[in-house]
Amino acid sequence: MDFGWKIASAGAMAGAAFLASKVAETGWKAATGHDVPHEDDDEVQMVQLIAFAAVSAVLVAVAQRYAMRGAKKWYGTREITSD
pTM here is 0.79
Domain assignments of the chain as residue spans, ordered by start:
47-77
HSE value, Cβ hemisphere, 13 Å, CA-based, for 48: 18
For residue range 70-83, list pLDDT tens digits in order: 988 888 766 666 55
For residue range 25-56, list pLDDT tens digits in order: 999 999 999 999 988 888 889 999 999 999 99
* Residue 23 and residue 66 in contact, taking contact as beta carbons nearer than 8 Å: no
**Can you tell me the distance from the alpha carbon of 27 to that of 19, in angstroms, rounded to the nearest whole number?**
12
